[in-house]
Amino acid sequence: MSNVGFSALACLFFVCCSRAVPTPLIQEAVNDRPVIGILTQLVTDDVMKPFGRTYIPGAYVKYIESGGSRVMPIRLTLSTAEYESIFKKINGLLFIGGAVDLEKSDYARVARIFYKLAVAANNAGDFFPIWGTCMGMQLLTVLVAGENLLANTTAENIAMPLNLTADAYSSRMFQGFSDDFMKILTQEPLTGNFHHYGLTVETFQENEKLQDFFTVLSTNVAENRARFVSTIEAKIYPFYGVQWHPEVNRFQWRRKLNFPHSFHAVQLSTLLADFFVNEGRKSLHHFDDAEEEASSLIYSYTPVYAGNFTAYEQIYFF
């Protein structure tokens, strides 16, 4: 997905890593009231500016809620101390798709703070998962590599099967998938792609930091025939990334956009939402004050119908 400028149709929704070996993360799922934070994005499109400074497309909120979690929107204007406080209260973090500078923007700055907190927490045995979708996955690679290594891998408005790697079959992300469904993933166009940039397989193989940190679970081929990494998970940390959009399979319906809505496409979205939220259940972070918790959640906000001026059906503005 593009990391230069914002285009609602270009991507629909949207540090160097520690090399220390963390304490093994063996916590069982014990938290049945998880809260997943979603990092907002800065409004840059003129038609959206009257509604708020930052936003989250509604599909991401519904996606996380469908897995059994609540959502906390995280603004881009807080202090480091405030982000550190939020980190202790939420049980996971979602980096959504979009189009921002992945090194110099406020979005990148805040993401870097949470990334460092998550690495340190997991190193200490304090389980904390992160998921990146489309640009969010690209952001994870920038945070780990310490530089932007993206290239033109345009796959605009196309649904594709996944070219699974051998590692996919022993991965955490796909551990709940049946053998039959893993085969379906490689045969049916279940993954909606709406991006212009990505990480090529060649670049990944040439970068020691990325190879040490991530395992590639799938690849795909862009319109220019470049092979790009389409699904990743961290080797040690509970960090996951997809270049495609699982949330659109259930919650986006534009007729001119190639959202997969087959039975298997919806099943894929369900499985992944359930997986990530269950990762959040392994986090013991919590709010100490019930009133603060209630006021921090997405329920305090009303989504705006955005169909007249964006590619999203609904958007939360902040």
Q: pLDDT tens for residues 212-227? A: 999 999 999 999 999 9
Mean pLDDT of the chain: 92
Model pLDDT for residues 4-41, shown as the tens digit of each residue? 443 434 444 333 344 444 445 555 658 999 999 999 99
When pLDDT is averaged across residues 266-292 and rounded to a whole number, the result is 98
Would you report the helix, strand and coil content of the chain in percent, each value rounded to 5?
A: 35, 20, 45
Whole-model pTM: value is 0.91
User: In the prediction, which pLDDT does 28 show?
Assistant: 64
For 212, other C-beta atoms within 10 Å of its C-beta total 12
Report the pLDDT averaged over residues 44-66: 95
pLDDT in tens, 61-70: 999 999 999 9
pLDDT at residue 26, rounded to an integer: 54
User: CB of 173 within 8 A of CB of 166?
Assistant: no
Cα 298 to chain centroid distance, Å, stands at 18
Instruction: Look up 134 and say whether it is catalytic.
Output: yes
The owner of tokens 């998880």 is 34
Please provide residue 59's backbone torsions phi and psi, each rounded to the nearest 5 degrees: -60, -35
Name the pLDDT band for 311 (thresholds 50, 70, 90).
confident
Compute the average pLDDT of residues 31-56: 95
| Rounded Cα distance, 133 and 60, in Å | 10
Q: Helix or strand or coil: residue 140? A: helix
In terms of Cβ atoms closer than 10 Å to its own Cβ (0-12, 13-18, 19+), residue 197 is: buried
Selected catalytic residue, list 134, 195, 196, 285: 134
- Out of 195, 196, 245, 285, the active site residue is 245
Q: Is 180 helix (H, G, I), strand (E, B) or coil?
A: helix
Q: Please give the CATH topology (third level) of the domain spanning 35-317.
A: Rossmann fold (3.40.50)
Q: What is the pLDDT of residue 66?
A: 98
Q: Is 261 one of the annotated active-site residues of the chain?
A: no
Residue 27: predicted pLDDT: 53
Q: Cα separation of 164 and 150, whole Å?
A: 21
Average pLDDT over residues 48-54: 93
Distances (CA, A) of 42 to 144, 180, 215, 253: 23, 41, 30, 24
Q: What angle do CA 19, 23, 29 make, to 5 degrees?
A: 125
Once rounded to an integer, what is the mean pLDDT over residues 250-259? 94
| pLDDT band for position 310 (cuts 50, 70, 90) | confident
SS3 277: helix
